């Protein structure tokens, strides 16, 4: 599924494409999955679990909120850059794959949104769904890189992503100070 999705896209992908890529029979496929959607969802679940665990492992040593945002953003983009098929699955194909896929993506993003909301040193009275909205923008940013064939360049967007995540919570000046030693970034096309 991961290898075929970038070439075909979810809508055009058939079980024949998946079985051909995997070198298994249709019967073997149907022993594992009732259909294409369930195969996609299982693939998404494995990718999302791996992604979340790796990002959470990277930020576990950080005690300060800004550092967790910086480290988590950098690690997320690094992971997706080194695993472009997972980036494609998670950022590009989910909207095409139906409601269950979108619900899974929302659950994964909610996991990160909770981490952003927890213990932020920022302004009072911010909307509860601000982190969700910011992460939706992050997915869009990632999709632009993936769609333009530049997934390997995602780490170049670290500075931009961190700035977008920090600014609403702590303001422009503090966000800029937190970015001081992050490498520059290239504008996404």
DSSP state at residue 186:
P
Taking residues 58-86, report their average pLDDT: 95
pLDDT band per the 50, 70, 90 thresholds, residue 159: very high
Hey, where are the domains in the chain?
Answer: 39-178
pLDDT on residue 120: 85
pLDDT band per the 50, 70, 90 thresholds, residue 184: low
Q: Tell how far CA 155 is from the center of its chain.
A: 13
Q: What does the pLDDT look like over 89-148, one tens digit per residue? A: 999 999 999 999 999 999 999 999 998 988 888 778 889 899 999 999 999 999 999 999
Which CATH class for the 39-178 domain?
A: mainly alpha
With 0-12 / 13-18 / 19 or more C-beta atoms within 10 angstroms meaning exposed / middle / buried, residue 136 is middle
- 69 HSE (CA, 13 A, CB side): 31
What average pLDDT does the chain have?
92
3-state secondary structure of 34: coil
Cβ atoms 51, 85 nearer than 8 A: no
Q: What does the pLDDT look like over 39-63, one tens digit per residue? A: 999 999 999 999 999 999 999 999 9
The pTM of this model reads: 0.90
Kindly give, in sequence order, each residue whose CB lies less than 8 Å from that of residue 143, ignoring residues fewer than 6 positions away: 91, 92
Cβ atoms 168, 122 nearer than 8 A: yes
Q: Measured between alpha carbons, how far is 80 from 10 in angstroms, rounded to an integer?
A: 19
């Amino acid at each position: 599924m991961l290898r075929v999705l970038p070439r075909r896209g979810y809508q055009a992908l058939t079980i024949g494409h998946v079985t051909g890529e995997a070198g298994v029979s249709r019967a073997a496929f149907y022993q594992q999955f009732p259909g294409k959607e369930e195969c996609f969802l299982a693939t998404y679940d494995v990718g999302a679990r791996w992604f979340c665990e790796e990002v959470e492992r990277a930020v576990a040593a950080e005690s300060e909120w800004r550092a967790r945002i910086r480290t988590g953003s950098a690690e997320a983009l690094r992971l997706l850059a080194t695993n472009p098929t997972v980036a494609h699955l998670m950022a590009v194909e989910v909207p095409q794959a139906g409601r269950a896929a979108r619900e899974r993506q929302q659950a994964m993003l909610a996991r990160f949104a909770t981490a952003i909301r927890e213990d932020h040193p920022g302004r009072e009275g911010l909307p509860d769904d601000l982190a969700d909205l910011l992460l939706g923008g992050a997915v869009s940013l990632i999709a632009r890189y993936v769609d333009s064939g530049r997934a390997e360049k995602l780490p170049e967007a670290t500075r931009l992503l961190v700035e977008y995540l920090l600014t609403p919570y702590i303001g422009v000046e503090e966000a800029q100070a937190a970015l001081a030693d992050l490498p520059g970034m290239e504008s996404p096309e």
